[in-house]
Structure 1
Amino acid sequence: MTGFRGIRWVKALFKGLTTKRESLTELNSDKQKSSTMTTTTLTAINQHKWRLLYGASALTLVGAIVLSGNQYVASNMVEGYHVKLYDQEIGVVSSQQLIEEYKSSRPLEIQEQNPDVHMELNTDGVSTEPEVAYMLETDDAGVIAKLNELLVPQALGVELRVDEKVVAVVKDQAAADQILQQIRDPFTPKEKVTGKVNALSAANAGMTDIGSAPSELEKVDFVEKVETEEVPIDPDVLEDPKAVVKRLQTGGMQPTKYKVVEGDCVSCIAQKFGTSTKFIHENNPGIEDDKLKIGQEIDLTVLKPVISVKTLERVVQNHEIQFDTEYIQDDSLRVGIIQPVSAGKNGMKKVTIQVTKVNGQLLSEELVSEDLIEAPVVAKARRGTKVVLGEGTGKFSWPVISPNISSTFGQRWGRLHKGIDITGNKNIQSADNGKVVETGYKSDYGNYIIIDHMNGYETLYGHLSKIISSKGDIVEKGEKIGVMGSTGDSTGVHLHFEIHKKGSLENPLKYLSR
C-alpha cells in the first residue's frame, strides 16, 4: 500500500512542475517575438531536455519508494502455527516445537502431581497448522493456558474381578499382579525338586507327609475365574494392596477362639461348633492324640478365601518292595513252622504320585507310575505242610478288583494315614488266607474287618457299607468279605486298607504292585 501511494504523489509533483515550466516558456515567447528563428529552435531543444530530466528523476524516485515499501512489508511478515483441539481453534503460537514438547511433557507433569494415582492425559486431538502472514500475532502463554483448561486428566485404576464380581480397585496392573502373586506364593513350592526322591519305608513312613513332601510344581492356577481390567476411576476408591491381600485370603473373617473346659474333647468341640475333628486338627497342629488341657486355646476360625489357589504337583518317592519267600514243602513240619534256608532282601521302586492341592490342603492324589529300581531277592525256607486252616501265604493280592489309589500311606494334616485308600469294584476280598478275628464299627474306621493271616500279618478293611464275614470265619485269598462304603470318618466311597506285621504298621504299597 505504501509503494502505490508514493507513485501517485510523485506523478502529481511532476505534473505541477511541468505546468509551471510551460507558463514561463509562453511568457518568454511573447517577449521575444522579434527574436530570430535560431533562438526559437534553441528554446524548443532546451524544453525537451528538461522533460527528459524530469522523467528520469521521477522514475528513480518511484523505484526507490517501491523498493522501500516492499522491504518494509517483508520485514513485518510473521510465521506462526494455528493450534486446534480437534476442530476448535485455540490460538496461534510461535513454534510447532512448543506444542510437541507440551504434548510429551504435560502428561508427565500431571503424573508427578498425582504420584499415588495412575493419571492419563489424552493429547491426541491437539494439532497445528502453519501460516506466514503480515504482522501475524502469536500468544504462546495464552494457548498453553487454554490447553491446560480444556484438556482434563483422567484417573485410571485396575479392577480385580473374581467370578465377574469386582473385589478390589488398585493403582495399576503391576499392583494387581503383585497381589495375585502374593496370594499364590504361600501355596507354590519354592524350589523345583528334580531327581531327588523321598525314601519311604516302614521305618520312616510315619514321618513323611505326602502333602508336604518335596514336589515338582506342574501347574498353578486359581479355582475361581480371576480377571483384571484398566478402567476410569475416582481416586478415592483405590485400596492399599496389603489390605486387599489380607481380605482376599481370609474373606474378612474375624478370628474365633475357644478355651478348653473340663470334660471337653476334640470331637465334643467339633460337635458343639458344627465342624469336624479334621478341621480342628488342621487349625491346631499342636494337638496330639486328641489330648487337650483345661484353659488351652483352640483356633476355630473358619477362613473363607475369596480366591483359592489350586496346584498340581508331582511327588516322587522310593518305596520298598517286600521280598517273597519260596517255600520248600516239608510234611514233617507242622503248618506254621518255617525253617529259613536263605535270607531274602527287599527291593526298591520309584513311585510317582500326582497331588492336587487347594490352598495348600491335599485335595486328591493319583498314583501315576511305578519304576523298579532294585528287584527284591527271594528268600527260601522250609515250611511244614501239616494243615492249619487260615494260614496265609505271605504274599498279598489287591483286595479290590480294578483298583485305583485315592490316598497313599503317610502323614495327613499332622496325623498318620495308616493305610491306603482304594476305589474300584465295590466287592471287598481278603488279601490272603486268614481268620476273621474282629468285626464291628468305630468312629474313625466305620464298619471294619480285621483278618489274622496266622503268619505274623494282619490286614484291616475299613469304611465298609456291609460286612459279610463273621468273627471266627476262615477265609481264603480272594474270597468276598464285605462291600465298599463310606462309613465312619470318610469323605467318599472307598476302602481303607492296612497291613500290620507283628503289630507294626506297614506301607501296603510295599506288598502290592500295579
Structure 2
Amino acid sequence: MNGFKFMRRVGKLQDGQTATGESGVEQVSNAASDTKVFHQATGARKVRRSWILASAGLVLLATFLIGAEKKYVGANTVAYYRVMVQGQEIGNLNEEAQLDKLFEEKRQAYQAKYPGAVMVLQTEGISTESEKAYKPEIDSAATLKKLDGLLKAYAVGVQLMVDGKAVGVVKDQETANAVLQGVKNYYTPQTKASKGANLKKTAASSSAIASAKAVDKVESTKIREAVTIVPIKADPNKVLDVAEAIKAFTEGEEEPLLYTVEEGDTISGIAKRFNITQAEVFRNNPGAKELALQIGDELQLKVAQPDVTVVTVEQVTEQVVTEPEVIVRKSDLLPAGKRKVVRAGQTGLKEMQYRLTKENGLVVQEEWLGQTVVKDSLPEVVYSGTKVVGEGTGMFAWPVTGAVTSSSFGERWGRVHKGVDLVSGNRTIMAADAGTVSFAGVQSGYGNVVIINHLNGYETYYGHMSSISVSVGQRLEQGAKVGIMGSTGRSTGTHLHFEIRKNGTAINPMKYLK
C-alpha cells in the first residue's frame, strides 16, 4: 500500500509537486520502498540487455549458417553440357571437348575403314547447350555411346559422266584425270621406241612375212564422247580406285548388237574381234554357217560395249618379203611351153607404211602411205620356148597406174582379206600379166569381176568393176584393158579389188607387184 503510494508520490514529484511527510518513520519506509523499486528496474534492464544480446547472437549464427550453406551449394553446383540432336536432348557431358574427341575418333575410324576415299563426318544438327545445376546426374559415357551410334559419314568424291550418263565415282579430280588417261592408254599401243625394239633390216625366208605391223608413232588419242566431272557426296563403298574405274570404262555392259558382215569376215574373226566365243555367235544366229557367210549378212551379237570410244591415229610399219623378178628369155632350143630356170632368184625385203584409225583398238580406216626397199631382190632368169599368146610370164605389173592401197592383204585386225584394194585417179584396169580370160561376169561379193588364167599356175582377179571390156576365152597381153574401176557388189566405194592366186591359193600381191 505504502509502496503504491510512494510510487504515485514519486510520480507526483516527478510532476513538479512538493512532498510533505507526516512522520519520520513513514519517510524511512518510503525510502526503503524506493530502493526496492530501483533494484527491480535495474534487473529488468539487465534481462532486456541479455535478451538483446541473445537475439543478436542468434542473428549472427543464422547469418553464418546461411553463408555456409551458400558456400556448400556453390561448391556443389556443377557446369555441364546438354547434347542436342535435331533439337532433342539425348544426354549430357562433363566437358564439351569430349564431343570434339568423339568426332575426331569417329572420323579417323571411317577413314581407316575406307582408305581409298576422303571421309567427312556428318555432324549437322548436333549441338551443345551449357548448363549449371546442384549435383546433376551426368553420364558422359552413356551419352557418347548413344551419340556414337548415331554418327554417320560420307565420302567426298567426283562423279565421272559420259554424255550425261554416270559411269563411276572416284575420290578427287586428280584421280579422275588419271582414270581418263588410263582409259586412253588402255587402247593406245606402245611404239617401237617405247618398247626399245628395232626392226631388223635383213631379208626373211620367202615362205613367211617378216613381222606384224609395229607402231612407229601415235599421232593422236582422244575420247569421242563428252566426259564431265561433277563433285558429289558419295557412298564410300561405291568409290572406285584408278584400276577399278578404268575397268568400268573399258569393259562396259553387255548389250545387243546387230553386226553387218563385211569383206573378209569369218565367224572366228568376228568372235575374236568382240572377245566372245564362236559358240555364242552360233547360238545367237542358228542359221549362220562359216563357209556360207556372205558380205551384207546380219548377225545378232551380245557383246560388252564400253561407255567411251577412244579414237587413235597411228603410223605403223610392216616388213614384207618381196619375190624376185622373173626374167624370161626366149629360146628356140626349148619346146613351146617349156621353161628352164638358168639362174635362181633371191627374195628381197621392203617396209610398208600405213596410217591406221582405230576405235577402241579396232581398225576402222587404213591408209597406205608408201614403201621403202630394205633389200633388193635378185631376179630369176628363165629360158622359155616359143612364146604362146595367153601364157603368163610370172611377172605382174600394177593393174592400175598411180595406184594407192586402201586395204592390204591377209589376216589382220580380225579380218581375212584375199587381195589388196587399189584406188587411182585413172580408173582403167589392165591385165597384170598375159593370160586367158576364164571368167567375166558377176560373182557374189565381187560384183562385176574378171578372172584371168595365166596358164602357169597363177590366176588374177579384178573385182567391183563398173564395166567389163573382155570376154571369156579371150587371150590378153600384159597391160591389155580389162575394164573400168567401179563399186559393184559388196563395196564401200570406187576401187579395184585385186587378187593373185597360185594353184588356187590367194597370195600377197605386194610380193609380186613392181
The aligned counterpart of 1:446 is 447
CA contact (8 A) 2:445 2:490 kept: yes
**Residue 284 (1) aligns with residue 271 (2):** yes
The aligned counterpart of 2:199 is 196
The aligned counterpart of 2:234 is 235
Distance 1:281 1:427, change over 3 A: farther
Percent identity for Structure 1 against Structure 2: 37
- Cα shift at 1:466: 3.0
**Residue 466 (1) aligns with residue 467 (2):** yes
Distance 1:111 1:309, change over 3 A: farther
Structure 1 length-normalised TM: 0.57
Name the SS for the 1:300 alignment partner: strand
CA contact (8 A) 1:160 1:226 kept: no
| Superimposed CA distance per residue, residues 195-233 of structure 1 (whole angstroms, 9 cap, x where no aligned partner) | 23697776335x97x6xx44345245134155454x543
RMSD: 4.1
Which runs of structure 2 are paired with 1:86-105 in the superposition (5 Å)? none
CA contact (8 A) 1:200 1:317 kept: no
CA contact (8 A) 1:357 1:363 kept: yes
CA contact (8 A) 2:266 2:416 kept: no
**Residue 318 (1) aligns with residue 319 (2):** yes
- Cα shift at 1:247: 5.2
Please identify the structure whose Cα radius of gyration is greater: 2
| Superimposed CA distance per residue, residues 25-56 of structure 1 (whole angstroms, 9 cap, x where no aligned partner) | xxxxxxxxxxxxxxxxxxxxxxxxxxxxxxxx
CA contact (8 A) 2:205 2:347 kept: no
CA contact (8 A) 1:157 1:238 kept: no
- Gaps (5+ residues) in structure 1? 1-105, 122-152, 257-272, 293-297
Which runs of structure 2 are paired with 1:45-444 in the superposition (5 Å)? 118=118, 157-162=157-162, 168-189=168-189, 192=195, 194-196=197-199, 203-205=207-209, 213-219=213-219, 221-229=221-229, 231-235=230-234, 239-241=238-240, 245=246, 248-249=249-250, 252-254=253-255, 275-276=260-261, 278=265, 281-285=268-272, 287=278, 290=290, 300-331=301-332, 333-384=334-385, 386-425=386-425, 426-444=427-445
Name the SS for the 2:406 alignment partner: strand
CA contact (8 A) 1:169 1:238 kept: no
CA contact (8 A) 2:259 2:300 kept: no
Distance across 2 between alignment mates of 1:157 and 1:204: 54
Distance across 2 between alignment mates of 1:472 and 1:239: 73
Name the SS for the 1:396 alignment partner: coil
CA contact (8 A) 1:157 1:232 kept: yes
The aligned counterpart of 1:19 is none
- Cα shift at 1:436: 0.8
CA contact (8 A) 1:464 1:484 kept: yes
The aligned counterpart of 2:487 is 486
Structure 2 length-normalised TM: 0.57
Distance across 2 between alignment mates of 1:238 and 1:492: 52
CA contact (8 A) 1:202 1:507 kept: no
Name the SS for the 1:301 alignment partner: strand
Which runs of structure 2 are paired with 1:9-24 in the superposition (5 Å)? none
| Superimposed CA distance per residue, residues 375-423 of structure 1 (whole angstroms, 9 cap, x where no aligned partner) | 2222223222x34222234322211222111121221354532211112
| Superimposed CA distance per residue, residues 105-163 of structure 1 (whole angstroms, 9 cap, x where no aligned partner) | x9999798666654799xxxxxxxxxxxxxxxxxxxxxxxxxxxxxxx99754343546
Distance 1:197 1:238, change over 3 A: farther
Distance across 1 between alignment mates of 2:362 and 2:353: 19
Distance across 2 between alignment mates of 1:107 and 1:497: 75
Q: How many residue pairs align between the two structures?
A: 350
- Cα shift at 1:238: 9.3
Name the SS for the 1:312 alignment partner: strand
- Cα shift at 1:334: 4.9
Name the SS for the 1:391 alignment partner: coil
- Cα shift at 1:501: 2.8
Name the SS for the 2:195 alignment partner: coil
Distance across 2 between alignment mates of 1:319 and 1:274: 32
Distance 1:118 1:498, change over 3 A: same
- Cα shift at 1:433: 1.9
CA contact (8 A) 1:219 1:312 kept: yes
Distance across 1 between alignment mates of 2:216 and 2:172: 32
Name the SS for the 1:482 alignment partner: strand
Distance across 2 between alignment mates of 1:340 and 1:499: 22
CA contact (8 A) 2:422 2:495 kept: yes
- Gaps (5+ residues) in structure 2? 1-102, 122-152, 280-288, 293-298
